[in-house]
Each structure stands twice: as C-alpha cells, then as structure tokens.
Amino acid sequence: MKKFIIVGKGLAAHCLMHQFYRHNINFVCIGEASLSTSSKVAAGIWNPVVFKRMTASWMADVLVPSLESFYSDCEKRLNTTLIHSRQLIKPFTEDQEKVLWQKKAAAGLNAFLDTNIYDPQSEHHALIIKNQYGLVKQAGNLNINAFIDAGEEYFKANIITEVFDYTSLSIHPNHVSYKNIEAENILFCEGYLVKNNPYFKWIPLVPAKGETLIIRGLGLGLKDFIFNKDGFVMDLGNDHYKVGATYEWKELNDKTSTKGLKSLEDKIQRISQAPYQIVKQEAGVRPSSLDRRPIIGKHPKYPHLHIFNGLGAKGVMLAPFFTENFVHFYLQKTGLHPEVDVKRFYQLYEPSA
C-alpha cells in the first residue's frame, strides 16, 4: 500500500513529490497537465518585497532561504540548473516612494533593498526608465518548466498521466482506493480546478487569470535583472523576454485573449521603443485564496483526504516551505502553520459533500 496518492501535476504536486522522496514516503502521482496551465506559464519569479505597502512579503525572511535550499537540492537530484538569482529593478513613480525606499533600506528591509538609488538610463540603458530606481536583493526566478519536465522524468515510475476520476475514489475507514491503487492518504493539488473536486470544492479560492508574452528582439540585456513595474520583463536568453502578467477575475480559463495581448503590448511600449516579434502568448489561472494564504490540511470529515492549494501568485516562494510543513505535519513532527491550515475554513463545509 502507498502512503499517498497525489492528484495534480503542477508546481505543488512536483514540490510534494520531492519532499516525499526526501522523507522516504512512498507515493503515486496522478495528473493530466493539460487541464490547467498555471504552473507551465508562470514566470517563476520570487520577490521578497510588497511594493504597494513597501513591506516584506509574508514570511519572506523564512521563505527565501527555504526556497533557495529546496530548489538547490532539486537541482542536484535532477542534475540541471533551475534557479537564477537576479535583482529586481524597481523604478520610482514619485519622490515619496524613493524617500520611503531609502528609509526602509536603512532599517527594516535592509536584507531585501539595495541602499543605492540609481539614475535613469544609468546602467540598464536599453530600458526606458524615466525616474530613478532601486534594486531588490534576494530575488530571482525558478525555471518552472524545467523543474516540472525534469521531475516528470525523474519520478516517471511513480507518475500516472490521466484525468483523475473522482467517482473511482473509495474512502475506507483507514485508507482510500482509486481503481487498483490502495493508499493510506490522498492529497489533492488541482490548483483552481479544485472547483470540480466533490470533497474540497467548498474551499474559498478567488482565482485570477493571467496572460504573458514571450517576445524576441528588444535587445535589453537584462541577464541578471528582472524589470518590475506594472508587471515584469524577464530575460530568457538569446534576446528572448517574458513579459507579464495580466490579472482577470471573470473569464477563468487558459485561453489567450486580444484584451490580454493589448495590455501586454502597451506594457512593452512603455519600457522600450525597439522593434520586437511575438513568439508566444500564454494564459493560466492562479489558484489564489480568499485570505491570500495557502490552504493545506485534512478534510473535516475524512481524515485520509488532504488538500494543498491556494498558492496564488507566489507559488514559487510558498511551495518549498509549506510542502515541508505538510510532510512534518504528516509525520507528526510539527503542526501546520495556523495561517495555512484548512481548518480556518471548516465552517464553509457542508457535511453532505
């Protein structure tokens, strides 16, 4: 009998596979990646600062070291480069913003904000930066596609590629069974498609669709930097750039739109006048939660059913620490972090489900 069936094939499922492997917990993963493309289209950026409030991102001091150590360990296991540390270029729109930046860089956010203020056009000259700007430290990006593709290969003996059929799941007093697989537990990581899961459809997600472009030809030379203003521009190598992302809460699907395209092209116009070609437009739906925290833990009625969801727009930062938290919780070494425990939403569960 397996210890776990994991359902899903996105970032959450892949981080869990590595954590289970590290802790010698046997598992089978069932997923069909084409159902939801959020992880596949994500830029994979981690940013420890919330610019709107000029504060550290929730738990950034813990999450950044945790992600660096986790993905480095995965790099060794998968024998490929996955993470790239880069500074974020953050232009100031007004003087007050600069003053606040300087204050926070001196104390409070000194771990994450460079104390220097840079003049427009000084160093990153191919970008149109009208005002002065600052640099965020301890940021970077994970190549999520490479992480998932290499994980698919590494764990291929444990992965079944198929659409999970909820009607084939049987719940027994001490285990679950799915078709011919028996396991002590099942862990659902379907992203926003949890809305189709009869056992967990009540968890309060507020999914947000996002679109991105891959373009060629701006000649920005942003290799060790990510431009961050109303979204991002990230160098992919060979004069290719990823530009994003839009936010849309009504049309929740993985289809690209002309509205998304226009918004992204406008973004590019504001930062460079160089000619470029569009290589690809992509879309996905972020599994964001009502209170912007992950949603993790046991089903209120069936203790062998578990959920790992709600990674929202920050999955790359959140997944390493909280997949480990989940495993420690399962091994009864620690409790779940109270702000992520699905228990906080138990009042939304109707026992018929």
Ligand X SMILES: Cc1cc2nc3c(=O)[nH]c(=O)nc-3n(C[C@H](O)[C@H](O)[C@H](O)COP(=O)(O)OP(=O)(O)OC[C@H]3O[C@@H](n4cnc5c(N)ncnc54)[C@H](O)[C@@H]3O)c2cc1C
Number of residues that bind ligand X (CB under 6 A): 39
Which residues pair with residue 214 across a beta bridge? Answer: 242, 280
Q: Which of residues 238-257 bind ligand X (CB under 6 A)?
A: 244-245
Placement of tokens 């373009």 in the chain: 215
Q: Give CA–CA dist 220/218, Å, rounded.
A: 5
Instruction: Rule CB under 6 A: say whether 314 interacts with ligand X.
Output: yes
Instruction: Rule CB under 6 A: say whether 91 interacts with ligand X.
Output: no
| Smaller CB separation from ligand X, 78 or 214 | 214
- Is the Cα dihedral 347, 174, 18, 187 positive or negative? negative
Task: Measure the N-to-C terminal CA separation of the chain; round to a whole number of Å.
Answer: 26
Interface residue with ligand X, options 311, 327, 340, 342 (CB under 6 A): 311
Interface residue with ligand X, options 207, 284, 297, 320 (CB under 6 A): 284
> To the nearest whole angstrom, how small is the minimum distance from the Cβ of residue 211 to ligand X?
6
Interface residue with ligand X, options 38, 66, 138, 272 (CB under 6 A): 38
Interface residue with ligand X, options 21, 32, 114, 118 (CB under 6 A): 32
What φ, ψ does residue 324 adopt, rounded to 5°? -70, -40
Instruction: Rule CB under 6 A: say whether 294 interacts with ligand X.
Output: no
The stretch among 7-15, 71-79, 85-93, 106-114 that binds ligand X (CB under 6 A) is 7-15
| Smaller CB separation from ligand X, 105 or 154 | 154
Pick from 94, 123, 86, 26: nearest CA to 316: 86
Residue 159's alpha-carbon distances to 119, 232, 323, 342, in angstroms, are 51, 34, 18, 26
CB 281 within 8 A of CB 260: yes
Q: Show the DSSP H helices in the chain as ranges.
A: 11-22, 38-41, 60-78, 95-106, 144-154, 258-271, 315-330
Interface residue with ligand X, options 21, 23, 33, 257 (CB under 6 A): 33
Question: Count of residues for the chain?
Answer: 353
Placement of tokens 């840079």 in the chain: 118
| Smaller CB separation from ligand X, 100 or 278 | 278
The stretch among 76-84, 118-126, 315-323, 341-349 that binds ligand X (CB under 6 A) is 315-323
Tokens at 219, concatenated: 């000649």
Q: Which of residues 149-188 bind ligand X (CB under 6 A)?
A: 163-164
> To the nearest whole angstrom, how small is the minimum distance from the Cβ of residue 340 to ligand X?
13
Task: List residues binding ligand X (CB under 6 A).
Answer: 8-13, 31-33, 35-36, 38-39, 41-45, 163-164, 189-191, 193, 210, 212, 244-245, 284, 286-287, 309, 311-317
